[in-house]
């Protein structure tokens, strides 16, 4: 089946950007002149999907207003996650809107910027699903000190840049991590994951973890992992947000040359 729908969980409180996020959802923070969320929508549109399902919390009305009326060439649907019960619960909240079909998930504060002319990040995963019929997730290698920040996969190598996922562990200690391959927030799932999430008890931090559902999919239906050909930024992190803004600014037709000149002069003075 062709993937038609993508889910973006955007119900988080944005605590790393307090107090700014008391009034502005982090997903609407601007990167030069466009909000973070629009870059994810662009990635979805470039993949040829028909609909994006935004999972928002009770305080995220600004996101609804931003898309009213929608000016993107894609259907935008909203569902509410009334309580912050974890990423797995946020994805499960979208089950009715998704229906019984494969779907994509993109974390709303993670950016994947592909090179011009190359498939978008989520399109690369969709292509793997189209070829294999298996769920597929993006992975990236992280240093040991960062293992505790991510879901980490235990894998079996299948080929260049491709792995079979065995299990997924949520934010393990370094000593317990099965690898250094972390999840940077891009997934394609078969609909079976909804049933596993419905029966997943609260795990780490009392939340329903998406990684627990992923392990069930990996064991029962099969799951693949690959590194995406794209530049990734964690725009939900202060440093990552600034790095993304600089990268996008350098490629912006209006301000790119001036920003490059400023950075060259600025760092030249520090030598």
What tens digit of pLDDT does each residue of 91-115 get? 999 999 999 999 999 998 899 999 8
Nearest to 39 by CA among 189, 183, 229, 232: 232
Determine whether domain 5-270 maps to CATH 3.30.56.10: no
Distance of alpha carbon 196 from alpha carbon 108, whole angstroms? 23
Q: Domain locations in the chain?
A: 5-270
User: 186 near 106, Cβ under 8 Å?
Assistant: yes
Output the pLDDT for position 71: 63
What tens digit of pLDDT does each residue of 242-252 get? 999 999 999 99
Long-range contact list for 115-118, CB < 8 A, 24+ apart?
115/229, 115/230, 118/229, 118/230
Q: Which residues pair with 164 in a beta bridge?
A: 156, 224
| CB atoms closer than 10 angstroms to residue 2 | 11
Output the pLDDT for position 205: 72
Output the pLDDT for position 269: 64
Output the pLDDT for position 157: 87
The structure tokens listed for 211 are: 């990684």
Mean pLDDT score of the chain: 91
Distance of alpha carbon 186 from alpha carbon 81, whole angstroms? 20
Q: Which residues pair with 233 in a beta bridge?
A: 111
Torsion-angle region of 161 (φ positive above 0: left; ψ -120 to 50: alpha; else: beta): left
Q: Which of 81-90, 168-177, 200-209 comes out lowest in average pLDDT? A: 200-209
Q: Report, as an integer, the average pLDDT of 113-131.
A: 94
Beta-strand pair 162-170/135-138? unpaired
Output the pLDDT for position 270: 55
Q: Report, as an integer, the average pLDDT of 146-154.
A: 93
Q: Report, as an integer, the average pLDDT of 213-242.
A: 94
**Length, in residues, of the chain:** 271
Distance of alpha carbon 172 from alpha carbon 144, whole angstroms? 11
Nearest to 180 by CA among 232, 128, 231, 140: 140
Q: To the nearest whole percent, how much of the chain has pLDDT over 70?
A: 97
């Amino acid at each position: 089946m062709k993937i038609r729908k993508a889910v973006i969980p955007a119900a988080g409180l944005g605590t790393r950007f307090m107090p700014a996020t008391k009034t502005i959802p982090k997903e609407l923070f601007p990167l030069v002149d466009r909000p973070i969320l629009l870059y994810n929508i662009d990635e979805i549109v470039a993949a040829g999907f028909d609909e994006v399902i935004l999972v928002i919390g009770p305080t995220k009305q600004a996101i609804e207003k931003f898309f009213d009326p929608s000016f993107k060439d894609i259907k935008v649907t909203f569902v509410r996650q009334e309580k912050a019960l974890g990423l797995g619960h946020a994805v499960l909240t979208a089950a009715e809107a998704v229906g019984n079909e494969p779907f994509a998930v993109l974390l709303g504060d993670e950016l994947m910027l592909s090179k011009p002319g190359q498939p978008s990040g989520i399109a690369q995963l969709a292509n793997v699903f189209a070829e294999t019929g298996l769920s597929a997730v993006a992975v990236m290698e992280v240093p040991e000190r960062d293992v505790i920040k991510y879901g980490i996969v235990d894998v079996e190598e299948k080929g260049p840049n491709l792995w079979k996922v065995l299990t997924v562990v949520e934010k393990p200690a370094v000593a317990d991590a099965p690898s250094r391959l972390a999840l940077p927030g891009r997934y394609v799932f078969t609909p079976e994951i909804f049933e596993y999430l419905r029966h997943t008890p609260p795990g780490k931090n009392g939340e329903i973890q998406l990684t627990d559902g992923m392990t069930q999919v990996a064991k029962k239906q099969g799951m693949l992992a690959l590194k995406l050909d794209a530049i990734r930024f964690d725009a939900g992190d202060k440093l990552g947000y600034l790095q993304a803004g600089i990268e996008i600014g350098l490629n912006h037709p209006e301000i790119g040359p001036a920003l490059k000149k400023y950075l060259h002069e600025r760092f030249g003075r520090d030598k």
